[in-house]
Structures are given as C-alpha cells and as structure tokens.
Structure 1
Amino acid sequence: MIRLFQRPLTGTSSSRTNRQLRINWALGALCVAWTGLLIGCNKSETTSTLGDWKRGSDLEGVARIGGVSFVIGNIAYIGTGVNSNGERLNDFWAYNAERNTWTQPAAMTIGAARAYGVGFAVGTKGYVGTGTNINGDRLNDFYEYDQTANTWKRIADFGGTGRYGAVAFSAANKGYVGCGNDGNYLKDFWSYNPTTAAWTKVASYGGSKRVGAVSFVINNVAYVGTGDNNGTSEGDWWAYDPAQDLWTAKNNFSVSDNATVARSNGVGFAVGNYGYITLGTVTDRIVWQYDPTADKWSSLGVFEGTARQYAIGFAINGKGYVTTGGTSSGARYDDVWIFDPTVAQDTENN
C-alpha cells in the first residue's frame, strides 16, 4: 500500500490554489502510473509476429553437419557431410515436401565421401562437389545427379582450386560456386554451364574473401553474404546479376543494436520475393528477412529448433526448410523444421 503525505498549504489563496492544482495533477499522474503497473504485471507476455515453424519428418539418414542440398521440383536432395564419429558420408536422401516423407536415392559412391562441399540444381539435374575428404584433402571434383535415371556421373572438375566452405547457387540456367578456403581464404567465382559441360571464371565476389557464406536467389539475382574472413564474422551483403556479371553492394546485414547478425555457417533460402537467414555461429535463433526491393532487413520471429551451425536450408512451394547441423560441443541433428512466413508465430516459449 502506498501512503501519500501532503504538507499543510500556506500563503495567499491564489498561491494555495495553484499549489493544490499541481499536487492534484501529480497525484493523478502517480495513480495512472501505478494502475498501469498493476495492469502490466497481470498482462500476458505472449507476443506474435509473422513467421511460424513446425516440425517435419526427421531425416532418415544419420544426423550430420556440413552436408549439401539441391532441389528439383518439389523434392529436396540432402547428402554428404560428417557424422558424430567424424566419418565423411556419401549417402543421399530425398525429401518430398508435399508428402513430408523421405526416400533413399542412389548414393554418390563414385566420388570420395566428403563434408563442407556445395550443391546446386539446374533443371532436372543436381550437382555436388568440392569439400574435404576423411584425410582433410581439399577437393575440386564435381558430380551430376540424374533424377530420372537415379544415377551419378562425374563431370568436369571445378574450375577453381580444391576447397571447402564455398557457397553455391543456380541462376539463369547455370550453377555458380565461389569463395571458400583452399588453405587460403578465397573470393573467386565460377559458373558451370550444363549445356557445354564447362566451367567459366566470372567476376569475383564483391566483398572480402571468406568461408561459410550463405546465398539465395530472387528473380534470377543472387544475394550472397555473411561468412568468416580470417576469424572475423562478416555482415556485408552483395547482389550478383548473372546477365551483367556484376556484383553490387547492398545494405549490410546489420539491423539491430541488440542482436548479433554477422555470422558464418548459417542457412539462407528465398520464399517468394524475400530472402531469409538464420542460425550459424551465433547463439540466437532470430530469423532475418531481406526485402530486395527496399534493400532492407527485418526480424521475423525465431527458429523453433535448437540453435546450430553447418545446417542445410532450402525452399519449396512457398515454405522454407532447415535440417541437420550441429554445435561446437559435438551435437548432431537430424530434425526437419518447416517455415511459413505468412503465418503468425506465438513467441511465448521461444
């Protein structure tokens, strides 16, 4: 209980009246504040924002980090990586997004089992390469997966040096691979043309050299950013136009004084006209949305699984997906999470 003490009023009638008015105003303001405090204490802490996650069917293969993915139609193919025993993997698993089910296609047995490679798809073919083998050798070999025949074949080796931690995407009917580490941090980029089965060097990444960047593609323009440059987490952001072979600087991935946004080994995917980034070498699970038209970043809820890095992200039919990954303490995950940016998320327990 609050007790308010008031001194006796002295002075002229006019001054007493003015002082009484000031005291009444102060008492009224205090009562309003106290009432608001009481209401606030009883109010639910639940908030809501767009961007909801739900659990999908767990990967049927072993939990892993450093795997790759590519999407053909409404099927995502996930494979390679390293398990909790440190073993490199060459298995692949196909996820049907419509049915939320897994099947096992042919493994990539013609190449070395690997981790920290890259994958992309062009048309009905998937492509996988680079990474490191069990001995830590940096690889530059590349393989093509034929969805119809369910077979793998070796194609021309990657045009650059063998490396791990590169970033890849497909745009304008070509695949693109760049950055990474071959013993040194890199920023070169190469395109693969399935028609000519050849690699061509293109403009180097617009930012600094790095490993562990993320990418997504919106309307045939690729957006690439974040990553690690000699121990420094990057937050810059660049757009690549394959028609002009040109990189353009965009607003840095830095949107809040209260959240760490620079990172490496995160995941990125595009849904509709927006791109999304989450996870990586950060402790938070905030999902960040990029609007290329406004060149603006904003937060959109939080990832509802466990924080992790070296996970896989992709998008199918208006939804984003995150699976696998792990922690620096050795945890490995095989869970699948489905992101719908049009549904409100209840953040009470996040």
Structure 2
Amino acid sequence: MRKILSLSIFLMLLAGWSCTQEGDATTVVATEEVIFVSGDKVRVLGRLITDQPVTTTDHGFQISTAENFPSPIIVSLGVKEGPGRFIGEAEGLDINQIYYVRAFASVGGVDLYGESIEVKTLNPIIESYGPTFSKPGAEIIIQGRNLPLGTKVFFGTQEATILENQFESRLRVRIPAASTDPIVKVRVQVQNKILEFSQNFEYQSGKYTLLGQFPEGQRIYDNVFFQNQSGFFVGIGSLRLGAGYYQGFQRFDPQSNAWSAVNFPGESREGAFATSNYLGGGAIEVSRDVFELKRDFWRIDGSTFTRLPDLPTNSFNSLAFELNGALFLAGGSGIGTRSIRKYNPTAQTWSTQAPTPIDINNGLAWFVFENKAYFVASDSRIWEYQPTNDSWRIFSSYPGSQGNGYGLAQVIGEKVYIGLYRRTEQFFELDLRSLVWKAKNSVPGLPQSINTGYFTFNGQIYILRAPEESIAGVLPMELYRFDPNGI
C-alpha cells in the first residue's frame, strides 16, 4: 500500500513540476516554500528531485514582481551534484511589495523551473527607543521589526550613525550633534518610507558664553555678591593668598556687558552676607586665624549704601535671604549654625525664629521660590522653609555630587538650576512643579574653579568663576552667560 501511495505522489509531482527525460532518467525542480520574509529579504527552500545521478551547471531561484518573470532577480547557487534541497536568499528588495519566486536548475543545457510562489515583503515597524534624554555622542537603542541594512535614523534634521543592526529589530545608534533645537523628533527611514516616534527626544542642553574677565585681573575670595535694578555687584572679599582685601565693588551691566567701580563706605572684609537690599557682618583677619568680627549693617539702594543700626549679634559666613519683605539671617558663626534671625525693616527690629533642622552656612546652595526658601543640605536633601508658620519640610533630593561645597542655585520661571560645586562640573535642572531632574551641560574653563558670584537676567544665568586660591599663575576670574536651553 505504501509503495502505491509513494508512486501516486511521484506521478503527481511529475504532472505538476517541470521535468526532463533522458532515457529512463527523470529530473524535477520544486519550489517548496518561503521560509523567511522581512522588509527587504526573502529566504526560499527548493528541491531537486531525480532518480539518477545528476549535475546542474547552475541552480537557485528567480524573483520578479510579475508572474511571467520578464526580468527576474537571479539568486544563483552554482553547480549542484545530485538531488536534494537547497536554500537561497535575496535581499535589497522593496518593502511592502508582492513578489513571485520560483526555483530553477540548469541540467544538460535545459533550464527547469518550479512553480511560482507569491510572497509579500513586510512593512518596517518601530516600537520604542531609549533613553529619550541624553547628549551628543551617547547611544540610544531603537526597537522595531523589519529594519534592514541601509535603514537611516534622524534626530530632527541630523542623521545619526547606526553602530549595529541586530536581527533587523534592534538598532544601536550614536546620537548626532544637535542643530538648534534641544527637543527633536526621532525618525527612522527605510527606503522611501519614513516612520516617526511620537515621543520627542531631548538633548542635554545648556550653552555657556564667555563674556569677559573681572576688572584689573584680580582674584577675590570670601566675597559678597548681589543683584538689584542697577546690575550685578561683586566685591569686598579677600585677595588671593592673604594679600589683603578688595576694596569696594565692581558693578556689571548685563545690557552693555560693561564693568564699573562702585565705592563702599564701610570696611572691606570676608565672610559677610548680602542680599538685593542688605549687607553686613563678616570679619577682618588681624593675624593668622584670628578675626575681628564686624557688626555693621547696611541698606542697599542701587549703588548707594546707607548704614543702619548694628546687628544684634556676630555674623560670619552666615546665609541671608529675603521673604515677604523681611530679611532672614541664618547659620554661620556667631548666631549658631541652626539659628535664624528675622529683621523687620519697618520697625528695624530683630526676632529669633525656631531652630533649623540642618546646619546652615554660606557654603550651601539655596534659592527662593514663591516666598519660600530652599536649602540643599550636605546630605543632598533639599529642605523647604515656610516663613509664615516658621516650618520646615523635605522638598526633594539633589542627584549630583556636592564636591567640596559652595554650589550655586538660581531660579528661572518654574525651574531651578543647581550645581557647579567646588571640584565638580555637574549642573542640574529641577522642575519645581513636577520635581523632575535633568542634567545640563558642564561648565567650560578651568576645572579647579569656584563660583564667586551668580545672577539671573532675561532667562539666563551669569556665573563669575575664579580659579581656586592654590592654583598659581596669571589666571583671571571669568564671567560666563549660561542659556539653559542653548545648544
């Protein structure tokens, strides 16, 4: 019974397939099945069937977009000795296209063909990519299907480099340089088809522009700085390596980019405090590590200083801020590292607030937002101080390194920029509503630099940087303008 079944199947093959006969020899070519198909590639299984020894001068497959194979793509597999299966692959086909494929063999000068099989190449599909926030030169991974060799990836108008294409489903891509916009679309191009992710990619941004140097080539430390309607003020600090004190202030006008000298009627000093409206405290070093503490207290009006009644206590390296029209003086030496005093400018009186939950001095990064003060503690937790009920709570946590302290914090709109601590170049943006952190670009210049003043104007941050005191050489203080969204 099995022999009869086998004979019947063979007779059916002879009836359906191309064949040639030489005496008693019978040779048949069969197109068995398509075993793989992708966007631009098909892999087909064929078979050469014969009951006698046979040698083909060539065998393989023909592929065409027309059923009559007028100008087919030839997949040549060369000489074949004897019968058996064979596999061929064609690549570089058009995506989403119907093709016809058939096996062939050349035997004794005769071309034999199997029946054609219809196959349609697949459409490319993109599924996901990540990360969605990074900087040029870093890598992202794109996941998808049917992404053949020759696939291109664009970030906005910038073409990326594809480092690796794994199984036409995973692309390892190097992020290109940005053009002008930090937020761009990621597009994948396969032949003439363009696919676009709905999730935007955001470049790590932050552009620094060097505006110039501090006047006279001076390097000052332990100074004060403040900002008001008249510009940015930097001064009354100590000169490098105990060379005395810097007298008065230099005022920078961000509209003209010009510096001008401003006289201060009091003594120069180090470790004083200053806000937009008040200045005071500090000390003069009379001998090594011996200080004469100062209690004079000044009202600032533009470039004019008016002396007020002295401070009720010493203040050295304290931190000062203004909320709801009142001045708050916190921490440092003299009033206690966890003490806060509040100054009422109408009554010209001082009162003591509840102790703070953290040690405070002018080495902390801090900022004011919506009449509340925020302090980045040494353990990276950010504490919020509510002056109306004299209360504290943990607000967020700084994600970067605090190095050796003395970082900066500046608010623009509903975002605050924190970082650039001593011996670090990290800078971060915190959305004050969503509490989402984003890294910003590192500051250029000498890495061993510290911040000696920082201000905001027209949505940009101005940062005065000085080489650390131990750095020798004629190295000036440099003023940079930082555009948070610049590329």
TM-score normalised by the chain length of structure 2:
0.54
Shift of residue 190, structure 1, vs aligned partner: 1.7
Match for 2:392: what amino acid? W
Structure having the higher Rg: 2
Q: Write out aligned runs for 1:222-237 (5 A).
A: 222-226=373-377, 233-237=378-382
- Could you tell me which residue of structure 2 aligns to residue 98 of structure 1? 255
- Do the aligned residues in 2 keep the contact of 1:267 with 1:311 (CA within 8 Å)? no
Residue 73, structure 1, aligned to residue 215, structure 2: no
- Could you tell me which residue of structure 1 aligns to residue 76 of structure 2? none
- Could you tell me which residue of structure 2 aligns to residue 312 of structure 1? 453
Query: For the structure 1 residues 70 and 209, does the alpha-carbon distance in structure 2 shift closer, same or farther, using more than 3 Å as the test?
Result: closer
- Could you tell me which residue of structure 2 aligns to residue 218 of structure 1? 369
- Do the aligned residues in 2 keep the contact of 1:159 with 1:200 (CA within 8 Å)? no
- Do the aligned residues in 1 keep the contact of 2:162 with 2:173 (CA within 8 Å)? no
Shift of residue 292, structure 1, vs aligned partner: 2.2
Listed as ranges, the gaps of 5+ residues in structure 1 are: 1-15, 22-27, 227-232, 346-350
Structure (1 or 2) with the greater helix fraction: 1
- Could you tell me which residue of structure 2 aligns to residue 5 of structure 1? none
- Of 205, 211, 222 in structure 2, the residue corresponding to residue 56 of structure 1 is 211
- Do the aligned residues in 2 keep the contact of 1:65 with 1:326 (CA within 8 Å)? no
Shift of residue 287, structure 1, vs aligned partner: 1.3
Residue 174, structure 1, aligned to residue 322, structure 2: no
Alignment deviations for residues 92-147 of structure 1 (CA, whole Å, 9 cap, x no partner): 11111122111112224x23x212222102xxxx3222223132526352432443
- Of 410, 413, 430 in structure 2, the residue corresponding to residue 272 of structure 1 is 413
Alignment deviations for residues 57-105 of structure 1 (CA, whole Å, 9 cap, x no partner): 3222522122111211251121111222422223111111122111112
Amino-acid identity (%): 19
- Of 221, 236, 239 in structure 2, the residue corresponding to residue 83 of structure 1 is 239
How many residue pairs match? The answer is: 301
- Do the aligned residues in 1 keep the contact of 2:383 with 2:393 (CA within 8 Å)? yes
- Could you tell me which residue of structure 2 aligns to residue 204 of structure 1? 355
Q: Which has the higher contact order (CA 8 A, sep 6+)?
A: 1
Query: For the structure 1 residues 142 and 239, does the alpha-carbon distance in structure 2 shift closer, same or farther, using more than 3 Å as the test?
Result: farther
Structure (1 or 2) with the greater strand fraction: 2
**C-alpha distance in structure 1 between counterparts of 2:476 and 2:297, whole Å:** 26
Match of 1:196, SS state, is coil
**C-alpha distance in structure 2 between counterparts of 1:160 and 1:214, whole Å:** 24
* CA root-mean-square deviation: 3.5
Query: For the structure 1 residues 197 and 295, does the alpha-carbon distance in structure 2 shift closer, same or farther, using more than 3 Å as the test?
Result: same
Residue 240, structure 1, aligned to residue 385, structure 2: yes
- Do the aligned residues in 2 keep the contact of 1:234 with 1:264 (CA within 8 Å)? no
Shift of residue 154, structure 1, vs aligned partner: 2.8
TM-score normalised by the chain length of structure 1:
0.73
**C-alpha distance in structure 1 between counterparts of 2:321 and 2:206, whole Å:** 24
**C-alpha distance in structure 1 between counterparts of 2:480 and 2:368, whole Å:** 21
Match of 1:282, SS state, is coil
Listed as ranges, the gaps of 5+ residues in structure 2 are: 1-83, 90-145, 151-160, 166-170, 179-202
Query: For the structure 1 residues 207 and 172, does the alpha-carbon distance in structure 2 shift closer, same or farther, using more than 3 Å as the test?
Result: same
- Do the aligned residues in 1 keep the contact of 2:319 with 2:360 (CA within 8 Å)? no
- Of 299, 302, 305 in structure 1, the residue corresponding to residue 439 of structure 2 is 299
The worse-fitting range, judged by mean Cα deviation, of 51-60 and 324-333 is 324-333
Match of 1:270, SS state, is strand
